[in-house]
Structure formats: structure tokens, C-alpha cells
Amino acid sequence: MAMDAKKALGAGIAAGLISGLVKLGWENVLPPRTADRDAENPPYKTMKLLGVPDKLIHQKYHFSGHEIEWPGFIIHFGFSASFAALYELLRHKYPAIAKDHGTLYGIGVWAAFHLGVMPALNVVPSAKDQPKDEHVSELLGHMVWMWTNDLVGKKIYAELTNKKD
């Protein structure tokens, strides 16, 4: 059966928003960075690289006695939804990508960004200079993130198209 690209895209975006929450939770259990390095975390550094002014980067909301900088969530959830949507589109055309519930795709995204792109842009230290804890947290976190995308995306796509996937 042919894929409905619009519904696959919608399922992928929805899965990416949900898996973005899972990844945030994961990072609370196994923080990838030290507190010092988290003061200027990758989303913050990415926004600086894009020329976003500090005044906007440090916008806050308050909830339950906490002061939370929300602009970093745009980068976090935008990344998650984008790669989940791409995965959802690709898995229909190339079913092998969904092997092991997309965990290999997640490892590929981790390697490409945390070992390649982000160090090249000085968003994080070079791969050899990142602590072992960071590699462990990010590697496993990306596997769980994609496993979530796979399960949620498949379920939402099936619901949207009224067919088993």
C-alpha cells in the first residue's frame, strides 16, 4: 500500500514532540553534561551561532516556583520533531530503517550530530574531549528517543490512515 505522505508527516511530528518529552526526562535521569557545561547547553550555543540575541535566548516563564528558559525548547523539540518526521517518511520507503524500532537510526543521528556536526560548530567539545558520561547518556538517550518515535509514529499513522502498519 502506498504511504500517505501528509499523514506520515503529521504522525512523525506528533511522535517527535512526544519523544522530545521522553528525551528531556531521560536527561534528568542521566544528565549528559556537567552543571558547568549545562550553563551554556547545546540549544543555547546553537541559538548564539544563529545570531539569536541573548535577550531572546534568556526569555523565561515561571511555573511551580521554577524559572524556566523556554527558547531552548524550540531547538530541542524542533530537532526531535524534524528527525522523527524524516524517519516516519523514510520508514515507509525504506523499511529496513525501522529495524530494531529505529534505534540504529537514533545511533546514526547521535553520531552525526554529537560526534560530527556539533563539535565542528563548537557547540560541544570534540568527541574525544567529551566525557564518557556524556557519550553514554546521549547514545542511550538517542536510542530510547527513536524507539519512542518508532512506536508512537507507527501507532498515530495507523490511526490516521485506518490501517495496520
Residue 164 has pLDDT above 80, yes or no: no
* 101-152 pLDDT per residue, tens: 999 999 999 999 999 999 999 999 999 999 999 999 999 999 999 999 999 9
Give me the residue label for grid cell 531521560. 26
C-alpha grid cell for residue 125? Answer: 567539545
**Band of pLDDT at residue 165, cut at 50, 70 and 90:** low
- The three-state DSSP-derived secondary structure of 106-158 is HHHHHHHHHHHHHHHCCCCCCHHHCCHHHHHHHHHHHHHHHHHHHHHHHHHHH
C-alpha grid cell for residue 18? Answer: 512526544
Residues shown for the chain = 165
Question: Cα–Cα distance between 17 and 141 in angstroms, integer?
Answer: 15
Q: What are phi and psi of 4, to 5 degrees?
A: -95, 100
* The pLDDT of residue 143: 98
* 77-99 pLDDT per residue, tens: 999 999 999 999 999 999 999 99
This prediction's pTM: 0.93
Query: Quick one: which H or E segment has residue 163?
Result: none
Q: Alpha carbon of 164 to those of 18, 61, 148, 154: distances in Å?
A: 21, 41, 18, 9
Q: Is 123 in contact with 50 (CB distance < 8 Å)?
A: no
- Quote the percentage of the chain above a pLDDT of 70: 98
Residue 54 has pLDDT above 80, yes or no: yes
Residue 158 has pLDDT above 60, yes or no: yes
